[in-house]
Structure 1
Amino acid sequence: MAKKTFALNTEPHVATVGDTDLLFKPEVMGDEFMDALHDLQEVQKAASGVDLEDLQNLDADALRKTARALRGFLAELMLPASAELFTRVDVVADGKVVASYGNREEADKHAEGIAGAKAVDTLRLPDRILVQLMEWVIELYGGGADERPPTSSSGSATRSPKGGRRGMGVSPSKASTPAAGR
Structure 2
Amino acid sequence: MATRDFAVRTETHVATLGDLGELHFVPEAVGTEFLDGYQKVQEAQALLGGEQDLTKMDPQVVRQVYAAMRLFLSGLMTSESAERFLRFEVVKGGKVAAHFRTREEADEYAKDLGGTARVRDESLRLPDRVLMDLMEWVTELYGGGNDRPTTPSSGSSRASRRAGTTGKASSRSKGSTRTAGRSAR
TM-score, with length taken from structure 2: 0.62
What CA distance in whole angstroms lies between the structure 1 residues aligned with 2:49 and 2:89? 29
Q: Secondary structure at the match of 2:32?
A: helix
Alignment of 1:97-136 (within 5 A): 101-102=99-100, 103-108=102-107, 110=110, 114=116, 119-136=120-137
Map Cα deviations across residues 118-168 of structure 1 (whole Å, 9 max, x no partner): 63243111222211111110000111123579xxxxxxxxxxxxxx9x966
Amino acid at match of 1:12: T
Structure 1 stretches of at least 4 aligned residues deviating more than 3 Å after TM superposition: 2-6, 54-57, 96-100, 106-115, 166-170
Q: Secondary structure of the residue that 1:146 maps to in structure 2? A: coil
**CA RMSD of the aligned region, Å?**
3.7
Q: How many residues matched?
A: 148
Question: What is the deviation of 1:42?
Answer: 2.1
Per-residue deviation, 1:5: 3.9
Whose RCO is larger (CA < 8 A, sep 6+)?
Answer: 2
Once the two structures are superposed, the pairs formed by residues 74-89 of structure 1 within 5 Å of their partners are 74-89=73-88
Q: How far, CA to CA, are the matches of 2:53 and 2:76 in structure 1?
A: 23
- Answering whether residue 84 of structure 2 is matched by residue 69 of structure 1, we say no
**Residue ranges of structure 2 left out of the alignment (5+ in a row):** 151-178
The equivalent of 1:169 in structure 2 is 184
Q: Secondary structure at the residue paired with 1:11?
A: coil
TM-score, normalization by structure 1: 0.63
Q: Are the aligned partners of 2:9 and 2:149 in contact in 1 as well (CA < 8 Å)?
A: no
- Mapped contact 1:67–1:127 kept (Cα < 8 A): no
Percent identity of paired positions between Structure 1 and Structure 2: 44
* Alpha-carbon distance between aligned partners in 1 of 2:53 and 2:88, rounded to the nearest angstrom: 22
Whole-angstrom distance in 1 between the partners of 2:119 and 2:28? 37
Which whole-Å deviations, capped at 9, do the CAs of 1:93-122 have from their partners, x for residues lacking one?
xxx88666212124456499559x763243
